Chain A
Amino acid sequence: MSNRVDPNLIKELREYGLKDAGKCYNCGNCTAICDLSTPENPFPRKMVRYVQLGQKEKILKSPEPWLCYYCGDCSIRCPREADPGETMMVLRRYLTSLYDWTGFSKKFYTSEKFETTAVAAIGILVGLGMIFWGIANHAMIDWKHADVSSVWSTAGMEIADLVMASILSFFLLTNLFRCVKLVMGDYFKKVPLKMYYEEFKYLLVQFATQKQFDGCKTKGNRARWIAHLAIMTGYATIFLLVVVFLNGLPFMGINFLKFQRGWASMGHVNEISIFNPLRLLGYYSFFALMYGTSYVIYSRLKKTAPQFKNTHSTDWMFLILLQATAITGILINLGHIFNWVFFSYAIYVIHMMVAIPMLVLEVPFAKWAHLAYRPVVLMLMKVKGRYISEYEEIKGAVLEPEVAL
């Protein structure tokens, strides 16, 4: 069976940011230098060759793009300046759009116009919704104390948050399911569920620590890992605090986790000090996000390393929204503390206008989605490897002949 060449793939990938893959003469220096490439899953050369030969089917089934953390060694070593690291990045974008069954992701990645319009539209819709909600609720608004819950009830917000989270989870999980099926191929049905269950811990560890990221031994990689970890932990923490525990999920009886609270001096009853662990976690999130995003924005502006040289429009969008979310978030808190009433309400609306498009668009359809794909694929590789060693070798089955590329 011959593999049909899709000569247009390389052109299609240009919209995802592909630049120099055509220059590659397949010497393999990139694969040799890569700390994360393994004999079972060699990259980036193989992936570059797939791109050159228009092997869309093979790319779709490849776990390799998710195994790469883009340390940039390959791009430094590449004698042809073909930027293999960037090709891997492009393939992550491409795969994200292929996993997405709605087709929304593809549009988001391939059209800057669509991207900005979508972000702006959702932002404006959210803003308008918030304002209308406020107007409808104007009788209850506390103009003496900066108390956003008097305008937009905490319980209502939490419900809205949870509804949104469920919808996003639905999209993300269905996309993730497609990813799992594609990456596992024939093994999807073969591997017993128990094995997935047993390796789930590995997934959680990878998710929380991104240990694999630290596997790249390039100089300066640790700083990037720390910045990456800061963004991830900062965002995950504040996501839990704000989206899940805004009102402390009263129906589950864990009110003590309630995040949105007032000040006694302002007439609220369930106040907590700024030194309360919940608050401290919030501050950690702010500083972590600010450190991480500033580090990346600075690096991308100065193009300090190969992975910061090529910035796709979606990368900027992601960073800007993320940093804006963090800044508006801390401003809400400041407004609260210093009791700047109108400021607090206005910034709350803006915060929502930034944070929600960020969540809605980026989590299931764009860059944030890798928070799911990466650890899951890592786990899948572990599961697949275990299955092959435990089952197939005992049965004497021969591994699929893989040509080392």
Chain B
Amino acid sequence: MAGSRLSRWFDRKGWSDLIVGAPYIWLLVFFLLPFLVVVAMSVATKTSTAPPISWGGEVPLVSWEAYARVFGDGLYLRAFLTSVLNAAVAMVLCLLIGYPMALGLVRVAPAWRNILLMLVILPFWTSFLLRVYAWMGLMGRNSWFNGMLTDAWNVLVPVDWAVRSIPMMNTNFAVVLVMVYTYLPFMILPLYASLERLDPTLDEAAMDLGSKPARVFWDVTLPQSIPGIIAGGMLVFIPAAGELVIPTLVGNASSPMIGRVISDEFAQARDWPMASAVAVVLLLMMVVPTMLYSHFQARAEGSK
């Protein structure tokens, strides 16, 4: 009987198979299949039908023109460069600001810890878009915030350099600032998780052996928190590099980030193959280093 065989399999190891298989099925259905659709679109040809793509009538059915443009046209390369640079700067700043905060969270008295952790997560209770709009208000020429910075600037620098207002909105600076603000919790939380697991007796041992606190941090704490740094770095860098909303709202069209380019190609130029090709290249740029890292990480752990 088929039914009894099924139930026997289920009794024996059904649950474990299902639980192990679920993430793979999830990846297959919600990542791999949509990605293959995008890959297929990237080798299509633009047409004036609905939907505006076709795979042509002649052999070969695919066209590599979109990829040729991605690597041939300076605009796309520049947008990739802007995205990677902005994301890298945001990541480093998040690390510099987030690390002391995470360390503080670990070292503070337990009663305070939960309150402070709550404060890190608190901004998520408000819509992300709303918080970006709040920054737009702060950075605008006529805001009290900009006015305060302008006054400070005018006091500090020679009279010749005095300005009416500091141009912050619609600059690359604004993009990085808002990205650091937005992604900071994604850096703090993995760092906190990794620092919290460290054994405090190791610090004490180092100090017993005569290390000064700075030296203890450098020799003991920092090396042990590297997995947290890498996890936080990736959580910041990857979404920041593909960011669309922040550069659209506070950025400048003269240095577009790649997310904006994809959106413009898709919607404004109605060039789906081109948008798909850029998206595929972006994904490979993000996924290949991540996979290489986890591959070597697994090998390093296996050899221990």
Physical interaction between A and B = no
B residues sitting closer than 8 Å to A (CB atoms) are none
A residues sitting closer than 8 Å to B (CB atoms) are none
